[in-house]
Structure 1
Amino acid sequence: MLFQVCRRLATARGTRLFSNGGSMYEPDYLEKLRPKYPVYNALNFTIKGYDYPILENYQKFMYNVADTMDLDTVDCWAQPPRKFNVQRFKPASAIIESEYKLTVYERNVQITSLQAPLYPMFVRILQAALPEGVTLTVSEHTPDVEDARFVPDRDLLELKQKLDEMGGSRERK
């Protein structure tokens, strides 16, 4: 009986009871500090295409839309272009009919603290204005993406390897 009275008072005052019978007081103002909606930490909006000027203009458009919607655009970057050699063969033969050299360009826009209700609106705006031949993908930001951003300096890596082979660096005291 006494436990039931305490439980009613606790729930009326904002205290949450745990399943083990204990309780912990949480003030009401802590609930007001929580965001109303779930928030995405960091999302990468990646666009790829064959036409460099169109891709650059679309990245600028993405940035302007995010700025208009008051989204936190943390970073924008470009990946090195990838080159492909595509061959078309004559039917039922190994003779090359035509050969194409394609270059795929990639741009990224990173947005943090994106509220869940704004995400679908932002993506729909981007999809509605997506140019022909450009693909849009959205992914979470991971350490692998961060590592792929930077091109390793081969000369520096070779010098470090030679230094290690010679016995490592000497520290002067």
Structure 2
Amino acid sequence: MFNRIRGMSRLLSSQLKSYPLRQASNLFEPDYLDALKPKHPVYPCVDFKVTGYDFAVLESFQRFLHRTADSLDLDVSECWAIPPKHMHITKLKTKSTTVEGQFDLKVYERNVQVYNLPAHFFPVYLRLVQAALPEGVTLNVVEHQPDHDEIRYVPDTELKELQNELEELGGARKLKKKKK
């Protein structure tokens, strides 16, 4: 029996020596989690911003971006639209101040957010998108910033007007509870 215990202790000590010592930060994490890390570098979050003057073309191209990313098994986390920017353009005649024409333009913007974009797929996807880019549409590829989330929400002007009126009247009053 003593020989059996000695054999077991030798077996256990040989198994302990075969595993490298872990660092303190990985002490409670299993080894298989290291195998789940990507083999290639990954861009955490990339925004594809598409802007243009023609609403229908822009919507169609955003749909193309989304479908292409899905077909390449890329993670599209969100797609959103930003309210259009209105521009008033006045065209003047040459060497005069006479107005030749006035135009009201709207600049539309759509965004496609790709999450965990592998570095080896990025140039392929970018070349594919650039090859299909329609005329009058511009493409900007940027890393996602928290400021981009603030732009996409439309402010409630009616609510702001009511808050301003309330401030002008002296602010909100505090209600006191009656004792019974």
- Regarding TM over 0.5, the answer is yes
Sort the Cα spacing of 1:165 and 1:76 in 2 relative to 1 into closer, same or farther, 3 A. Answer: farther
Task: Tell me the equivalent position of 1:99.
Answer: 102
Distance in structure 2 (CA, Å) of the matches to 1:25 and 1:148: 39
Report the equivalent of 2:171. 166
Match of 1:127 in 2: 130
Determine helix, strand or coil for the equivalent of 1:138: strand
Secondary structure, aligned partner of 1:79: strand
Matched AA of 1:123? L
Which sections of structure 1, spanning at least 5 residues, go unmatched? 1-11, 17-22
The one-letter code of the counterpart of 1:78 is A
**TM-score of the superposed pair, with normalisation by structure 1:** 0.76
1:157 equivalent to 2:141? Answer no
Counterpart among 72, 88, 91 of residue 85 in structure 1: 88
Q: Indicate the structure with greater strand content.
A: 1
Separation of aligned partners in 2, 1:149 and 1:25: 39
Measure how far apart 1:155 and its partner are: 2.3
TM superposition score normalised by structure 2: 0.74
Q: Do the aligned partners of residues 97 and 149 (structure 1) sit closer, same or farther apart at CA in structure 2, a change above 3 Å counting?
A: same
**Does the aligned pair in 2 maintain the 1:15–1:24 contact within 8 Å?**
no
- Number of aligned residue pairs: give it: 156
CA distance in 1, matches of 2:162, 2:79: 31
SS in 1 for 2:40: coil
Larger radius of gyration: 2
- Aligned pairs (5 A) from 1:36-75: 36-75=39-78
Distance between the aligned counterparts of 2:105 and 2:170, measured in 1? 41
Match of 2:7 in 1: none
Q: Which moved more, 1:156-165 or 1:117-126?
A: 156-165
Percent of matched pairs sharing the same residue: 43
Q: Structure 1, residues 1-24: CA drift from partner, whole Å, max 9, x if none?
A: xxxxxxxxxxx97669xxxxxx87
Specify the alignment match of 1:110 in structure 2: 113
Match of 1:7 in 2: none
Unaligned runs of 5+ in 2: 1-17
C-alpha distance in 1 between matches for 2:172 and 2:50: 46
**More divergent stretch after superposition (109-118 vs 155-164):** 155-164
